[in-house]
Amino acid sequence: KQEVTQIPAALSVPEGENLVLNCSFTDSAIYNLQWFRQDPGKGLTSLLLIQSSQREQTSGRLNASLDKSSGRSTLYIAASQPGDSATYLCAVKLHSGYSTLTFGKGTMLLVSP
């Protein structure tokens, strides 16, 4: 059974710092990996999607990497801002087609001004 672990569970940084969130998964045979942002009491916003054949994806100040063989992904946030404060979730998709995602518990990020 696929398990997804995110470290750290919580992170507090001052504004402007670069930071890295970690995600690991037990079964390396994934179809893709997706990073989401969740604000308190809200749904999920997709940030980056990395296909199994890709090594990284970038969007603005966000960069996500994938090392499928070792079962790891990282989300790099450059020049963090207070508006980045949220919970960041990592999820893996095992198969193509209509298969669901297996989620980690998330990393709660607080960026202080």
Partner 1 sequence: GAVVSQHPSRVICKSGTSVKIECRSLDFQATTMFWYRQFPKQSLMLMATSNEGSKATYEQGVEKDKFLINHASLTLSTLTVTSAHPEDSSFYICSVAKTLTDTGELFFGEGSRLTVL
Q: Which stretch binds partner 1 (CB under 8 A): 18-26, 31-39, 55-63, 70-78?
A: 31-39
Please list, residue by residue across 92-107, b when 16 or more beta carbons sit within 10 angstroms of its beta carbon and e when fewer do: bbeeeeeeebbebebb
For position 98 contacting partner 1 by CB under 8 A, the verdict is: yes
Q: Which stretch binds partner 1 (CB under 8 A): 16-24, 26-34, 57-65, 77-85?
A: 26-34
For position 68 contacting partner 1 by CB under 8 A, the verdict is: no
Selected binder of partner 1 within 77, 88, 106, 109 (CB under 8 A): 106
